[in-house]
Structure 1
């Protein structure tokens, strides 16, 4: 009898921390409308937060010379977040690094627009953040649950990689 029980325990696959995190996150995203809304508002929220962090003045570092503009609060934030993702699931961290690269490209173009007389980067991103928060609350209203990001930073950081994990699962791509 003990042999059979030991064999059952051996065949039981231990879940990775990332899988447990996704299971917890999914509990707040059961309803189809909420899931659909999240496909738009999570990337928008992630982008807008990235742009707001980018907008925070960063000290000029003379030793960087011509590369001084490439280091800012967002690049430091991005490095920490990508490292966090790397610890959870390397493949997802790589795709988030590419996502942040795309966001950086778009943010730089918003800076060009600002320099040409357009609105400030931070104001555009603040408006996008407000729109994405409204969308989040609409989604959670249909779910009849409080927003998962209100639980803490970990759930706020989970949203973007949760979307990528859904794509990876559909493509049967390991993460």
Structure 2
């Protein structure tokens, strides 16, 4: 398995212009958020209802399971990255719950809209950069994108 530093360096190769970087700083977290939000639309039913307090019930969905699995991947790469992504993931889960309470539209529709808009901007950024998105070479970079964004935000 490649190291976090080598993955971040390789990801950075197709993210050199300020314009593309700025787009990614906003859109990568938005895509991560929307994917978890879409997965949150898949309930696990009352599977865990007897084992967890009432306040935890809104967070028992496939999105939380997805975050758990992704955090294991980040933990394997770096403990510091794991901690940063854990905090970010908690904020995502809280944000999804807040957005779900806004009854303007179904959660899946709100998340799909965020997902689509963020990807359009991502491709605009890569078109401006003149380089293909990294995930076209290796799907692992779909998980490295959020790590790359956080590494710039927290300077590690």
Q: TM-score, normalised by structure 1?
A: 0.80
Shift of 1:161: 1.0
SS of match in other structure, 2:46: coil
- 1:33 partnered with 2:45: no
1:50 is aligned to 36
Shift of 1:63: 3.3
State the distance in 2 between where 1:132 and 1:90 align: 28
List 4+ stretches of structure 1 deviating above 6 A: none
Equivalent runs, 1:154-169 vs 2, <5 Å: 154-169=140-155
| Structure 1 portions without partners, runs of 5+ | 1-15, 170-174
SS of match in other structure, 1:146: coil
| Structure 2 portions without partners, runs of 5+ | none
Normalized per residue, which structure has more helix? 1
User: What is the number of equivalent residue pairs in this alignment?
Assistant: 152
- What is the RMSD computed on CA atoms of the aligned residues? 1.7
SS of match in other structure, 1:153: coil
State the distance in 1 between where 2:58 and 2:22 align: 37
State the distance in 1 between where 2:20 and 2:100 align: 32
Question: Could you give the per-residue CA deviations for residues 19-71 of structure 1, whole angstroms, max 9, x where no partner exists?
Answer: 01011101111122111111111111111111001112323214335454432
Q: Which has the greater radius of gyration?
A: 1
Larger RCO, structure (CA 8 Å, separation 6 or more) = 2
> Structure 1 residues 18 and 56, CA, compared in 2 at 3 Å: closer, same or farther?
same
1:83 is aligned to 72
